[in-house]
């Protein structure tokens, strides 16, 4: 059972009357890799700065181990931060940068002759040396002790920043887009490096990024944020497979998002057809958003498809082709390994587990760029039933089962 370390209770933050964080409720567990994921400006850094103690929330509480910490300054908090642009001390070498926190020592409450006193605890020189060297080894920077900061590459500076924070043995490490300034290759290396370090040290990482791939690859828990609000909390698999609303579906991976109507449990209607799905618990005839991931769609010969469409563009992406298919004016993105030339009419099959249903939200209709409304839709017939024949034109197959 993992222990809860930090909790934000109804935290709001406003700058000049503008609400940046809107009633955040969030807790962080011991030894967890938690990622705050969201577009730029959604309040990720602000959340991190509240936890680090650099700003105080306008309302709400910050609890560490159940104790209110709102007004405790950063230097008295047991968290350390890896800053977005490293913030290494340019006047100190690598060793002294890492040793910075250790040389300061901590003030601790101690009983001296029965009285409580604040005592400055200094760490002995040889222990400092040993811990710094140990930590430099953890971040693979052994032998760099005497280098100047300016003599290091971006990736090396990044490691120094991590070592400088971790050497203080914080319970929680805050990382604000730590890989943002690195090139793709280095970023991938550092991702697994960070994950390794987190597991090796067994501490909590609160990681901020706007890169969904990074979040999916590294996290135990992802918190998706937008406009100062939490949109969804869950494991990477949850977030990807069961997005809560159109924003999450669109932000995490690519999605075709359609308007649909939930007829009853396990039956959804879109495109004037009923499809079987695995979702339940919606009100009868509730309007919903339907998410279909581009890679889940199977292309079949047109006569075998449940729906038929025309390929309007094909882009080679290495592993697959991004195929845009027009279904009577709705453009879907389909990712396949097979090449289908522009102009070809194809059919598709949607299995129940390829269809994901979400409640309508403020984000409905804003995403799913590949489907665009067309007048043809209005002219289409009324709802056809599951096992009924075609909407228009001859079609032999195309049944749900």
Partner 1 sequence: MKNKRSLFAVPYIVWMAFLVVIPIIIMVVYAFTTGATDGSLGAFTLDNFTSMGSYTVVFTRSFKLALIATAVCLLIGYPISYMIAKEGPRFQRVAMVLIMLPMWINFLLRTYSWMSILENNGLLNQIFRSIGLIDLYNSIAIHFAADPSAYQPITYFQMMGTSGAVVLGMVYNYLPFMILPIYSVIVKLDHSLVEAAHDLGANNLCVFRKVIFPLSLPGVLSGITMVFVPSVSTFAISRLLGGGNQMLLGDLIELQFTGGAYNPHLGAAIAMVMMVIVVVCMWVMNHFGEGEEQAVML
Ligand X SMILES: Nc1ncnc2c1ncn2[C@@H]1O[C@H](COP(=O)(O)OP(=O)(O)O)[C@@H](O)[C@H]1O
| Least gap, CB of 210 to ligand X (angstroms) | 7
Binds 347, which of ligand X, partner 1, Mg ion, none (CB < 5 to 8 A, cut-off by type)?
none
Which of Mg ion, partner 1, ligand X, none does 222 bind, CB closer than 5 to 8 A by kind? Answer: none
Strand-pairing partners, residue 286, are: 262
Closer of 26 and 350 to Mg ion (Cβ): 26
Question: Among residue numbers 20 through 59, which ones bind partner 1 (CB under 8 A)?
Answer: 52-54
Strand blocks (E) in 283-400: 286-292, 298-300, 307-316, 321-327, 330-336, 345-349, 355-359
Q: Answer yes or no: are the C-beta atoms of 312 and 325 closer than 8 Å.
A: yes
Binding partner at 73 among ligand X, partner 1, Mg ion, none, C-beta below 5 to 8 Å by kind? partner 1
Closest residue to ligand X: CB criterion? 45
Binding-residue pattern over the window 72 to 91 for partner 1, x denoting contact by CB under 8 A: -xxx---xxx-xxx-xxxxx
Tokens 């495109």, located at residue: 271
The β-bridge relationship of strands 115-121 and 221-226 is: unpaired
Alpha-carbon distance of 36 to 225, in angstroms, equals 7
Minimum gap (Å) between residue 176 Cβ and Mg ion: 6
Closest distance to partner 1 from the beta carbon of 197 (Å): 18
Q: First and final CA of the chain: distance in angstroms?
A: 44
* Interface residue with Mg ion, options 35, 45, 219, 323 (CB under 5 A): 45
What part of residues 180-239 is at the interface with partner 1 (CB under 8 A)? none
Q: Return d(Cα 363, Cα 365) in angstroms, integer.
A: 6
Burial (CB < 10 A; 0-12, 13-18, 19+), residue 37, is buried
Is residue 100 within 8 Å of residue 89, measured between CB atoms? yes
Binding site for ligand X (CB under 6 A): 15, 20, 38, 40-46
Rounded to 5°, angle at Cα 374 from 370 and 378: 135
Which region among 18-26, 39-47, 342-350, 380-388 touches Mg ion (by CB under 5 A)?
A: 39-47
Nearer to ligand X, 228 or 234 (CB): 228
Among partner 1, ligand X, Mg ion, none, what does residue 373 contact (CB within 5–8 Å per kind)? none
* CA torsion angle 54 60 62 67 (round to 10): 130
Contacting residues toward partner 1, per CB under 8 A:
52-54, 73-75, 79-81, 83-85, 87-91, 100-101, 104-106, 164-165, 168
Contacting residues toward Mg ion, per CB under 5 A:
45
């Amino acid at each position: 059972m993992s222990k809860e370390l930090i909790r934000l209770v109804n935290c709001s933050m406003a700058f000049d009357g503008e609400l940046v964080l809107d009633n955040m409720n969030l807790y962080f567990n011991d030894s967890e890799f938690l990622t705050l994921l969201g577009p730029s400006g959604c309040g990720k850094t602000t959340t991190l700065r509240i936890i680090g103690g650099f700003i105080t929330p306008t309302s709400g509480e910050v609890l560490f181990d159940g104790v209110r910490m709102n007004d405790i300054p950063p230097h008295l908090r047991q968290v350390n931060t890896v800053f977005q642009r490293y913030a290494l001390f340019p006047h100190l070498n690598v060793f002294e940068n890492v040793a910075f926190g250790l040389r300061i020592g901590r003030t601790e409450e101690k009983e001296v002759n029965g009285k409580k006193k604040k005592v400055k605890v200094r760490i002995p020189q040889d222990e400092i040396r040993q811990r710094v060297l140990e930590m430099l080894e953890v971040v693979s920077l052994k032998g760099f002790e005497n280098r100047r900061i300016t003599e290091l590459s971006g990736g090396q500076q990044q490691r120094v920043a991590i070592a400088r924070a971790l050497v203080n043995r914080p319970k929680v490490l805050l990382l604000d887009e730590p890989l943002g300034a690195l090139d793709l290759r280095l970023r991938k290396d550092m991702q697994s490096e960070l994950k390794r370090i987190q597991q090796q040290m067994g501490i909590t990482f609160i990681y901020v990024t706007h890169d969904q791939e990074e979040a999916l690859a590294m996290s135990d828990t992802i918190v998706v944020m937008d406009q100062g609000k939490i949109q969804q909390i869950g494991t990477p698999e949850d977030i990807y497979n069961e997005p809560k609303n159109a924003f999450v579906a669109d932000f995490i991976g690519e999605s075709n998002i359609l308007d649909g109507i939930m007829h009853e449990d396990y039956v959804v209607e879109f495109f004037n057809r009923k499809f079987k799905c695995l979702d339940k618990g919606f009100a009868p005839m509730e309007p919903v958003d339907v998410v279909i991931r581009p890679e889940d769609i199977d292309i079949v010969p047109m006569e075998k498809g449940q729906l038929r469409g025309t390929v309007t563009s094909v882009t080679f992406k290495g592993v697959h082709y991004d195929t845009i298919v027009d279904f009577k004016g709705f453009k879907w993105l389909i990712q396949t390994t097979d090449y289908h030339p522009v102009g070809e009419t194809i059919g598709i099959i949607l299995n129940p587990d390829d269809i994901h249903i979400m409640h309508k939200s403020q984000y409905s209709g804003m995403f799913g760029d590949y489907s665009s409304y067309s007048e043809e839709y209005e002219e289409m017939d009324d709802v056809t039933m599951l096992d009924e024949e075609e909407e228009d034109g001859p079609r032999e197959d195309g049944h749900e089962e």
